[in-house]
């Protein structure tokens, strides 16, 4: 075989390799397109909307249990605020509202747990509800409610912060995470 023929054969083999590499690259691109496909628009919208609407609804709900008060308290601005003011006396001490005879912190935690279980829990959603008090001494947790292990280390959407000003106690920061 002459030198020219050998060179031509080498060129042909190189071309063949290039074609195979191009085909494999195209295949990889297709696979990457599948793998890196973003979560559907609806999925994100639903998760974000659900987190926001759940939190907003929880805080607006009125408590229709006997709370030993003259008015019907709101779960958010009344019971949670009372909980923050009397956090030091929880779980058995004084609180303005004693719904079902319970301290407002205990009642709020129980009620929010039930409400979330009846909606997000029924739809098999994984979630995490956090309520904490922020004042001059720093931030301290009031309670955290989780379902299916919570959302730590997962792709999640948030309701955004829902702050409530608690008289002489600080600021209550409420947040709900929903994840896959």
Partner 1 sequence: MMTKKGQGRMTETIAVLFIFFVLILFGIVFYFKYQDVAIKEDIRESLASRAMETTLTSLFLPELQCSRGAAEPEDNCIDLIKMNNAMRVFKENQDKYYFDIFSYANITVFQKYPTEEKWTVYEKVKLNATAKEPTFFVVVLRNEASKESSESSETTFGYGYISVEVYR
Q: Quick one: CA dihedral 28, 30, 31, 32, positive or negative? A: positive
With binding defined as CB under 8 A, does residue 80 bind partner 1?
no
CB 158 within 8 A of CB 173: no
Candidates 3, 35, 36, 42; binder of partner 1 (CB under 8 A) is 42
* Count of residues that interact with partner 1, criterion CB under 8 A: 34
With binding defined as CB under 8 A, does residue 49 bind partner 1?
yes
Taking the complex as a whole, how short is the minimal distance between the CB of residue 51 and partner 1, in angstroms?
9
For residues 26 and 161, which CB has a smaller minimum distance to partner 1 in the complex?
26
For residues 77 and 96, which CB has a smaller minimum distance to partner 1 in the complex?
77
Candidates 19, 29, 32, 139; binder of partner 1 (CB under 8 A) is 19
The residue among 71, 179, 79, 69 whose CA lies nearest residue 131 is: 79
Kindly tell me the burial class for residue 176, based on how many C-beta atoms sit within 10 Å of its own C-beta (0-12, 13-18, 19 or more).
buried
Candidates 40, 92, 138, 168; binder of partner 1 (CB under 8 A) is 40
């Amino acid at each position: 075989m002459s030198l020219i023929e050998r060179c031509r054969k080498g060129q042909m083999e190189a071309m063949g390799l290039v074609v195979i590499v191009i085909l494999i690259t195209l295949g990889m691109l297709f696979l990457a397109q599948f793998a890196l496909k973003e979560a559907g628009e609806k999925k994100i919208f639903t998760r974000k909307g659900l987190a926001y609407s759940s939190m907003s609804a929880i805080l607006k709900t009125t408590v229709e249990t006997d709370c030993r008060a003259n008015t019907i308290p709101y779960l958010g601005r009344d019971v949670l605020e009372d909980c923050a003011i009397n956090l030091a006396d929880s779980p058995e001490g004084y609180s303005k509202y004693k719904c079902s005879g319970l301290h407002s912190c205990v009642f709020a935690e129980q009620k929010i747990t039930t409400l979330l279980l009846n909606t997000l829990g029924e739809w098999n959603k994984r979630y995490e509800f956090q309520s904490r008090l922020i004042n001059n001494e720093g931030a301290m947790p009031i309670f955290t409610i989780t379902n299916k292990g919570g959302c730590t280390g997962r792709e999640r959407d948030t309701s955004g912060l829902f702050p409530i000003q608690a008289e002489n106690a600080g600021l209550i920061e409420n947040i709900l995470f929903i994840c896959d």
